Structure 1
Amino acid sequence: MLEGYRPRGEVEEADVSRIRDLLGSADDPFSREIPLHVTGSAVIVHDGRVLLRWHERQQAWLQVGGHGDPGETDPLAIALREGREETGLSDLTPRGDLLHAVIVPVPAKGAEPAHEHADLRYVLATARPEEARPEKPTAPLKWLALDEAIDAVSEDNLRETLRRVPERL
């Protein structure tokens, strides 16, 4: 899953090391039952713009993505499925391979304890941006120029992901 992937910088090197340890030790590294588990996400692009989704739990504009369904073991396939579900875009196509590997802390909510996502991030392209529709009213979508998107997000790790997007345009 991370074969050939080269982390950039000390923070990503540490994250990738932990993700590799997870992949080598967990029976199911995608299981939500373990405190660190793999997720797949993506920045959706069209004509130099990126699509962000409001995430109610984090109260922030983020990329699309999330957990694998039972039996899913391909983070790119997870990112594609989640991207389609969260945006209604049916024509999403990958732009290259893994863009960024990040461990993201997730706060506790209700009965769910705090945990971490080993988030594997990709770039997906659409030719039909006008067809983007939020999956629910509390998760609006917003197309932004790349520099506007970098300013709109609150997480440094997502800013770094967005800074890498031009490599795939």
Structure 2
Amino acid sequence: MRPDVVNASLATATHPERDRFAAFVRAQGDAALWREGGPEHVTASCFVFSPDLGHVLLCLHRKGRFWVQFGGHLESDDRDLADAARREAREESGIADLKLLDEHVVDLDRHDLRGGFACAAHWDVGFVALVDPATPTTVSDESDDVRWFPLDALPATVPDGFSARLAAVVRSVASGD
């Protein structure tokens, strides 16, 4: 995957952080894409919702000790950010046939990392999948639990700002943006 693939994905994003993300990728070049490229790099994630957008599937992140969407570092076999997000969601949820709603970027988030993480910060690019909550899930080695939550009853241990990001993603999906 090349930096221009990242910039192409970001071109469709209407998020206020888009220009900061694009500037980071331009400045860092190929290193921005890989965990080994430096303390800050791009990651891809997937918000998994029920088809009615009333519930979200989250994982209890083992290192971070918080509930969050599925996601992680890019791998050399990933064709683009959407492919990386889909792969991560499949691996971490156990839903082998999980498909993205589309390849539209719905969330951009730069977050600092502390304790237990080798990285200093992630520049995360988020996508969406819709899944029937009756679909069986499994817990991966990277998580301690995987569970559905009503959007109005999220667990207390979500990262700062997560609820607002989640609400913005739901608004974007509901409006078709």
Q: Is TM-score (shorter-chain normalized) higher than 0.5?
A: yes
User: Per-residue displacement from partner, 1:2-38 (whole Å, max 9, x unpaired)?
Assistant: 1132224xxxx3xx33321222132232111212211
CA pair 87-76 structure 1, distance change in 2 beyond 3 A: same
Structure 1: 5+ residue runs without aligned partners?
A: none
Asked if 1:81 corresponds to 2:81, the answer is no
> Residue 100 of structure 2 contacts residue 128 of structure 2 at CA under 8 Å; is this kept in 1?
yes
Structure-2 change in CA distance of 1:69 and 1:46 (3 Å): same
What is the alpha-carbon distance in structure 2 between the residues aligned to residue 128 and residue 51 of structure 1? 8
TM normalised by structure 2 equals 0.79
Instruction: Quote the Cα distance in structure 2 between the aligned partners of 1:36 and 1:67.
Output: 11
Please list, as runs of the form range in 1=range in 2, the aligned pairs for 1:13-32 lying within 5 A after superposition. Answer: 13=17, 16-25=18-27, 26-32=29-35
How far has the Cα of 1:124 moved from its partner?
A: 0.9
Q: Is the 8 A contact 2:61 2:68 kept in 1?
A: yes
> Does the aligned pair in 2 maintain the 1:46–1:129 contact within 8 Å?
no
Moved more, 43-52 or 151-160: 151-160
Number of positions where the alignment pairs a residue of Structure 1 with one of Structure 2: 160
Conserved? CA contact 1:43–1:121, under 8 Å: yes
CA distance in structure 2 between the partners assigned to 1:142 and 1:84 by the alignment: 14
Aligned-residue offset at 1:70:
2.5
1:44 CA displacement: 0.7
Match of 1:70 in 2: 76
Whichever residue aligns with residue 152 of structure 2, its letter is D
Shift of 1:160: 2.1
| Per-residue deviation, 1:71 | 4.8
Q: Measure, in 2, the Cα distance between the counterparts of 1:29 and 1:86.
A: 23
In the alignment, the residues of structure 2 paired with residue 129 and residue 136 of structure 1 have an alpha-carbon distance, to the nearest angstrom, of: 22
My pick for the range that moved more, 138-147 or 66-75, is 66-75
Give the structure-1-normalised TM-score: 0.82
Kindly provide the amino acid, as one letter, of the partner of residue 14 in structure 2.
R
Matched, 1:95 2:69: no
Write the deviation string for residues 97-139 of structure 1: whole angstroms up to 9, x where unpaired: 11110101112537x3x41100001111123643111124952
Matches within 5 A, 1:106-145: 106-109=113-116, 112=118, 114-127=119-132, 129-136=134-141, 139-145=144-150
The percentage of counterpart residues that share the same residue type is 26
RMSD of Structure 2 on Structure 1 (CA): 2.3
Aligned to 1:148: 153
* Structure-2 change in CA distance of 1:72 and 1:93 (3 Å): closer
Q: Is this contact kept in 2: 1:87–1:132, CA < 8 A?
A: yes
Matching residue's letter, 1:160: A
